Amino acid sequence: MLIIFTAIVGMILSVPGWPGAVALTFGTLGIGMAASSGAVVNHVLDARIDINMTRTQGRPLPQGRMSEPQALAFATMLCIVSMPMLWFIVNPLTAILTFASLIGYAVIYTVYLKRATPQNIVIGGAAGATPPVLGWTAVTGELHSDAILLFLIIFVWTPPHFWALAIAKKDEYEKAGIPMLPVTHGSEVTRKYILFYTTLLVLVTILPYITGMSGLIYLVVALSLGGKFLYYSIRLRSDDGVELPMRVFRYSINYLMLLFAALLVDHYFIFRFPL
């Protein structure tokens, strides 16, 4: 849901008016199918881990509702359909970047980083931060500094988002043998990192306003949402339970969706009512 939404926001922000039906329709379909392909591969590679975690044990593979060969065939089909769609109907740059993102998530992150380092989320977050860039290139056919800002927002948002969940599910990650930061360095250290990245996130979300990409509507929303995220992160420093980390995790999802919605509203307000 967030992947598709942020990609669509990237498409709309890339031009003053409407991005066009072809780019919007086939760009969204191609990016969405490629993302789904990567997610299915992730489920296949993590099937033996997922069965040990309450958050993921209800997925089709751990439950035996689908076999691994069936899942891989489905993932392959999604990839085979999405790549030519992006290359020939949208543009080659979007196809190349989307495929690189798929490999980054499904292979580099899932196969190696996830099991190799407690900084897995930080490094692997690059793949998850690409949707607005892909949406932007789907419409314009080129990279732009504003698209990189959108990438940067999601990239910095990813660590506090996932580490809050990792604190709450620390025992499960440890049982599954995943070296998440709370497992390797403890929850107290992780809480410090969450506060650091949340503070950085608040600063990064101001950049679209500073660069002229967005206006006052976005700035007010960004500061309000960021202030609440920062408040939660500060509270997290002195909280040893699992309820607050889960609240932070859930809030972070709403935070990103509302932040990108504010970019969208601000974009059309400035376009229709220039200051």
Tokens of 56: 């993921």
- pTM value? 0.93
pLDDT band of residue 270 (cuts 50, 70, 90) is low
pLDDT of residue 260: 98
pLDDT of residue 229: 98
Write out pLDDT tens, residues 5-44.
Answer: 999 999 999 998 889 899 999 999 999 999 999 999 988 8
Residue 10 and residue 23 in contact, taking contact as beta carbons nearer than 8 Å: no
Q: Tell me the CB-side half-sphere exposure of residue 154, using CA atoms within 13 A.
A: 25
Write out pLDDT tens, residues 111-142.
Answer: 788 888 888 888 888 888 999 999 999 999 99
Tokens of 144: 């732009």
Task: Give the CATH H-level superfamily of domain 1-143.
Answer: UbiA prenyltransferase (1.10.357.140)
Range ranked top by mean pLDDT from 12-21, 53-62, 202-211: 202-211
Delimit the domains of the chain by residue range: 1-143, 144-275
| Residue among 96, 122, 89, 93 nearest 34 (CA) | 96
3-class secondary structure per residue, 237-257: HCCCCCHHHHHHHHHHHHHHH
Close Cβ partners of 171 (under 8 Å, ≥ 6 residues apart): none
pLDDT band of residue 272 (cuts 50, 70, 90) is very low
CA 264/CA 275 separation, integer angstroms: 17
